[in-house]
Amino acid sequence: MSEATESNRQCKTILPAILVHGGAWAVPDSLRDAVNCGIQRAVRKGYEVLLEKDSALDAIEEAVRALEDDPCFNAGTKGHDTVGAVAVDSLGNVASATSTGGITGKEAGRVGDCPLVGCGRYCDNNIGAVSSTGHGESISKVVLAKTIIMYMQQGLSSQEAAEKALSVMTQRVQGSGGVIVVSNTGDIGIAFTTERMSWASMQNDQLCYGLDPGENNIATISNI
């Protein structure tokens, strides 16, 4: 990291934050309550580590592990769900993780977006971090996560960059998906073009979560 970059970061106020998602898909109403509880539990565990260790990397590992262990999400198994997390700590370090159970019915040897850097996830300490979910082939074709980071580098907010990149993916390859984004100062973004995406964020001891488009529920640690 250059001295100029470090100096610029020290001039900015950093608000540590963590965001998680439980996959962008048509979550049935029968799973709504369980999914909402699971996503909140995961972000809370990650946030506790973020505060205790002040490490974005340790925080996302804890959050994703909680999601992988939750039967509602099936990530890391032969289920359908993808889960992910992004975080920034008080030093401005960012991290991202994405874990998937894949998609059934695909040919042997298929490589989805998750293991491809810049597609299923991407992070750059100078800018921010992204975790993607949705149709893997579409995400890979537009290098979705890296594209969002590029838009942020050009001056867009996390939310603006997320919405623009998903719009481009729809227009160019008719693909749908969702993303969670955090900048290296704690500016967050959540966007999806699928029917639903479970997500949750924690910052300043405030927990926000949602499932449907436009939904943003607010809770506090004591209410979880």
pLDDT in tens, 30-42: 999 999 999 999 9
Q: Quick one: angle between helices 56-68 and 32-53, nearest 10?
A: 150
CB 18 within 8 A of CB 46: yes
- Of 221 and 152, the structure prediction assigns the larger pLDDT to 152
- Cα(173)–Cα(155) distance, integer angstroms: 25
Output the CATH code of domain 15-223. Answer: 3.60.20.30
How many CA atoms, within 13 angstroms, populate the side-chain half-sphere of residue 134? Answer: 31
Residues annotated as part of the active site:
82
Question: Bridge-partner residues for 182, per DSSP?
Answer: 129, 188
Burial of 220 (0-12, 13-18, 19+ CB in 10 A): exposed
Whether the full predicted model's pTM is greater than 0.85, yes or no, is yes
> CA neighbours within 13 Å on the CB side: how many for 24?
24
Please give the helix or strand (H or E) that residue 139 lies within, else none: helix 136-141
pLDDT of 116? 73
Note the pLDDT tens digit of each residue in 141-167: 999 999 999 999 999 999 999 999 999
pLDDT digits (tens, 9 = 90+) for 9-68: 556 799 999 999 999 999 999 999 999 999 999 999 999 999 999 999 999 999 999 999
How confident is the model at residue 2, as a pLDDT? Answer: 36
Q: How confident is the model at residue 115 (pLDDT cuts 50, 70, 90)?
A: low
The string of pLDDT tens digits covering residues 186-213 is 999 999 999 999 999 999 999 999 999 9
Q: What DSSP letter does each residue of 20-36 carry, written as one string? A: EEEEES---GGGHHHHH
